[in-house]
Chains A and B, each alone.
Chain A
Amino acid sequence: MSNIGSYENRVKNFSWAIAEQELGYHEGDVINIGWYCSDRICQQGKGNKNALIWEGKGEDEKRTYTFNDIRILSNTMGQYLRKLGLTDGDRICLFMDKVPELYIGLVSILKIGAIAQPLFSAFGDESLLVRLENAGTRAIITQRKHASKVQKILEKLPNLQFIIVVDDDGRKPLKEREVSFHLDQAQRVEQFDVFPTKAESPSLLHYTSGTTGQPKGVKHVHYSLISQYLTGKWVLDLREDDIYWCTADPGWVTGTSYGIIAPWSLGITQCVMDAGFSADAWYSFIQRKKITMWYSAPTAIRSLMKAGDDVVRKYDLSCLRHLASVGEPLNAEAVVWSEKMFGKPFYDTYWQTETGSMMICNYPGMKVKPGSMGLPFPGLTAALLDPDTYEPIHETNKVGLIAFQPDWPARMRTYWNNEETFQKKFRNGWYLTGDRSTIDQDGYYWFIGRDDDVINTGGHLVSPFEVESALLEHPAVAESAVVAKPDEVNMEVVKAFVTLHKGFEANDEMELDIMNFIRKKLSPLAMPQEIEWMDKLPKTRSGKIMRRVLHAKEWGEEIGDISTLEND
């Protein structure tokens, strides 16, 4: 029997109070996610249970931490942060690979009441700058190898007081604003006063991309724990004896909501592999660690499919009990393939950085319709809205905007320093996801696509505006337009249409130079996988680039109304 049991019964009898009661929380109480993920589990007598089984890139890089270790080490790191003068409300960025300090660091930041701002460690200096600038970040916790990116932009960040390097080996002198902190060598702190955060105290700031403007800082609060805990229990079906593996990086929301908060608040042992992708390495990890619950992404699943069935057969993967997926729509072929290879389907889950927790899901025990997003989580009022009137559509199989009626505990509370954009996410009392789908006769949702130009590549959103702006900083680029291009593995990848300044030649060397320029400035995700040279870009008579014309061309779609297209 799964944790959720009957979906229908849960829908009928739902209340968020179920999670509040299980967590021992009452309205008005102190609620601190850091405490719930460490101290509380120890108080339940599970201090000696493994919390984190970690493997790094090298053969001998293996570490295991119990919940008591997490409690003490997060106290230790929290005390260090406090000694630096960091306090509640401060934004502290985590900019690291998937090393233990990232996971423990997040817990420690929450314990001092500060706001954790995790950023993907592959971000280039420009991506880093706009996010740190917007958040007014006071400290960044990072590794020596990433500190150089911070140093490059330091002059533009007057608020950034501390660059905390967790693996400095002392071979070179520390640079401006750098301090060294070794978690393994620090004096252990047994007793620690966890900051008394309340339900609406800010906890995390995750940055996400939109069509226009700079990335937006999605503000979450400690009360988000309620939905992250319950979805972890009912959707991921996490159980006491599970060995869980969430492959997401905590630089993105899945890696925090379901790579830290959900499993640890449930007292679940989780495994982390800090290495790149290889089918053999992944299957070997599952076999060696005896993973029972695996939460991954369609891009990874499609990459595994591409690696072939013979690789799967080399390993004993019978330990796997339940599989789930998130990031972009999971295609039907991947569901069918996983049933064939693992004896069970991947259960797709749909949610966003802004929703903070799972919203539309396939639940253990329910019939999976391959390719479908599933059904709304109990307690949520979901609908498809007419894109013109923002009124609910009641017909089946008609495309509409996916929307939810507030409120649920993990909903974002605002975009940092951008309340105006936040307010635009709500119409007629509905939260607009920006995604389109249909609903079938059984109430299952079927994803259609984005309602804007944002590119979903490998489950991560990339803003065409951000890439276009960065392209213009390349000395050869005169104009650019960036759109999504279909891709077999990543669903979409970035494609750029570029015109060059006079004197520059459009050739393969130039294409490579521009690709690398964007990769280093923004991130590998944002790097155009293809550049098409143009003599001129399609524009309206008022001079606005008509991205949709280029998008339609890439996707083989009807171009639509081009009456505003400028003539030669």
Chain B
Amino acid sequence: MVSGETARPSPGPIQPMKLSARLCLILATAFGIGCLPARTWTSTDGSKTFEATFKSYNEALKQVTVTLPNGRSITFSINKLSEEDRVFLAEEASKLAKAGANREGAEQFAQSDIGKAMKKMQILDGSRFATHTFEAVPEFFILYYSASW
């Protein structure tokens, strides 16, 4: 979709999406990707541009959905977009997949026996112990068993 053109959803029945594409769509909603700032999108040949906010990307169908300044959402093939825009979409899809994996892993970990025990972590904060939590769940842990005596 570029200036002067009308965006149209892809014709024909919707093909079953692959898991990664479904994940991207779910995560796009869950992480509020529609809240990203508007950006300038450029046509394949670079001759036309338009402003819109990235909403979601269907990797299986190679389609992107964006929201125009008037609030209308449109879906179109990424083949109409410049290489730079396609790189942007690939990066966004990668971020979403990674964020989703981290979030899923963190939720599973929090429910495990080890995760529950680690909610009791404390760290030295001046002259006292303060509650400590992980910003992200590490892949491995070294447990050091010791005592003051």
Q: Is chain B a partner of chain A in the same complex?
A: no
The residues of B with any CB-CB pair to A shorter than 8 Å are none
- Chain A contacts to B: CB under 8 angstroms: none
